[in-house]
Structure 1
Amino acid sequence: MANASRMSSYQRREQLIRVGRSLFASKGFESVSVEEIAAHAKVSKPIVYEHFGGKEGLYAVIVDREMRSLTETLFDALSENGDAHPRQIVEHTTLALFTYIEEHSEGFQVLVRDSPSTADSQSSFYSLWGDVCLRVEEVLEQWFKRQHLPTKYVGHYAQMLVGMTVFTGQYWANQRSTLSREELAALTVNLAWHGLSRLEPKPSLIFDEDDDMALEVGGNTNQEDDGLEEIVSAVPSTARSGKVDARERKRMLKEAEKAQKEAKRAQLAAERAQQRAMLASAKAKEISEQLEATTAPTEEYKPTPDVPESERCAGDDAEPAAH
């Protein structure tokens, strides 16, 4: 199939890369054939083989190019100076990823799709995220130390942050959301940062699987207080005197753990109640402003006062002149 327009070797190669990237992004590697690539580029099959040796070679070039572009984008954002605040690094890196997704939508789709078995695993998409996680881990470790938090599980937190951001970006790209990249980055950082800024040194689940005592907002918080009083009163005198055997100690530890969970529930309920109060206050203010804006001011009727006859002007009672 001859092309009406002649291109240089470089131009033809770039054209085939654009065509291949679009097809691989929309259909996946396995569903695209050399014939289809040639047909879309309006060239013969031998031209594709001449430049890339087949669709595998074309795919490898596309992946390598997109990987280099994404790697440079992310590591530029992650290479903040040592004095940069961790939130600044999180914001810049998140926005950098979403910018790449928006400006290289087809390239991103190629990267997140299943790669062929012949692809080099060291240059794969998930290998890149492993490198990114290592860099994020370094940033978090410094932050954890400054906050006097244990660094034992900092690698897990890095994986959580990166995974949350990547899958959010993928969802955003697939859904064609109306959110701008800046708005999406703000939402992501809001969840990530406020979670990081309130980390507990020793986190635990406060709601058991068989526990139906979850406190609802507006519920009776006195029940929580009664439960704590029962726990305190249940401690035997032997415990207060310091004479506790192993079995009793184990039971007391369980009771203490239960009391701690109930305290966390109460704190969570208080936070929810505060949030609802703030929302209600904002709603009331909004309604009040709407009422003020839609209610037109009415002038109060004021009757004209009677003017004494002595104060009237001479011409007040005069008949109007005839014309």
Structure 2
Amino acid sequence: MTGKERREQLLDIGRTLFAERGLDGTSVEEIAAAAGVSKPVVYEHFGGKEGLYAVVVDREFEKLLALVTDSLAEAIHYRGKLEKAALALLEYIEESPDGFRILVRDSHGGTGTGSYASLLSEIAGEVEYVLAQEFDRHEYDDKFAPMYAQMLVGMVALTGQWWLDVRKPKREEVAAHVVNLAWNGLSGLEPRPSLDPRRRRKELERLKKVAAKEEKAAEKVAAKEERAAAKAERAHRKRHPEELNGTQPA
């Protein structure tokens, strides 16, 4: 095994152990034993478990950041950007669960520190830039773009942490629901959200037909109630003709 191959082997083993036990719970002895080498080999390549951990974290950080930022650059429509960014995070979680666990493990939401917190800050900066352009286009105050960027990134990030363990529903469906809330708000949620534009158009057409049908039914009910009220009024007048002449019964 070449030195480069050995280094990659140690990184793979370290990623698995750090994801399971964390930095403090993993020893150089365990890393060396899993790789079938002596401890000096680990020290030779990384200077110790801390050096190995730092490289693992840095790689995962750059990998996920590139996935999300590239997804933001790919789509033209702003809904598409949000869809691709959410899906990129979920794809990373599904394909690199150990890496994601390592990023999340050393981050502290209350203090805003750690690899994951730093990563989210980087992503929020990218989203802020995108939102500022959109705000300007719609004549919104772009000074609120940083706040909205934090909202969007936080929503996707926390959903990703939750999905890491539950893994249901499928990532495309999770991304569709995240975008549904972010794009439409609670008052305008789509009953059957999808990342497929054709399915969304079909669903929108279905909802329009349902709304038209409900409106037509409501009009029929209103007309029926109006006829009933008119009929009751005619019956009342027939029973009390004196009211029409303004006279009172003797």
TM-score (norm 2): 0.68
Aligned length: 187
After superposition, residues 1-323 of structure 1 pair within 5 angstroms as 7-80=1-74, 84-114=76-106, 124-175=115-166, 177-195=167-185
Aligned residue in 2 for 1:209: none
1:197 offset after TM fit, Å? Answer: 10
Greater share of helix:
2
Amino acid at match of 2:169: L
- 1:255 aligns with none
* Structure 1: runs of 5+ lacking an equivalent: 1-6, 116-120, 199-276, 282-323
What CA deviation, in whole Å up to 9, does each residue of 1:146-166 have, x standing for no partner?
Answer: 333333322111101001101
CA shift digits 1:37-87 (9 cap, x unpaired): 112222211111111110011001111111221121111111247xx2210
Q: Which has the larger radius of gyration?
A: 1
Q: 1:96 to 1:197 in 2, by over 3 A?
A: farther
Counterpart of 2:55, as a letter, is V
Supply the distance in 2 between the matched residues of 1:50 and 1:151 (Cα, whole angstroms): 51
Shift of 1:196: 9.6
Q: What letter matches 2:82 in structure 1?
A: V
Q: Structure 2: 5+ residue runs without aligned partners?
A: 108-112, 189-209, 215-250
Preserved CA contact (<8 Å) 2:104 2:115: no
Counterpart-to-counterpart distance in 2, 1:91 and 1:192: 10
- SS state at 1:152 partner: helix
**C-alpha separation in 1, matches of 2:86 and 2:168:** 18
Determine the C-alpha separation between the residues in 1 that align with 2:66 and 2:135: 26
Counterpart-to-counterpart distance in 2, 1:69 and 1:32: 23
Deviation by residue 1:25-44 (Cα, 9 ceiling, x = unmatched): 01111111111111222221
Residue 195 of structure 1 deviates from its aligned partner by 2.3
CA distance in 2 between counterparts of 1:93 and 1:197 reads: 23
Q: Provide TM-score, normalisation by structure 1.
A: 0.54
* Deviation beyond 3 Å, 4+ runs, structure 1: none
Whole-angstrom CA distance in 2 between matches of 1:154 and 1:113? 29
Q: Percent identity?
A: 53
Task: Give the secondary-structure state (helix, strand or coil) at the position aligned to 2:23.
Answer: coil
RMSD, aligned CA: 2.5
Distance 2:131 2:160 in 1: 21
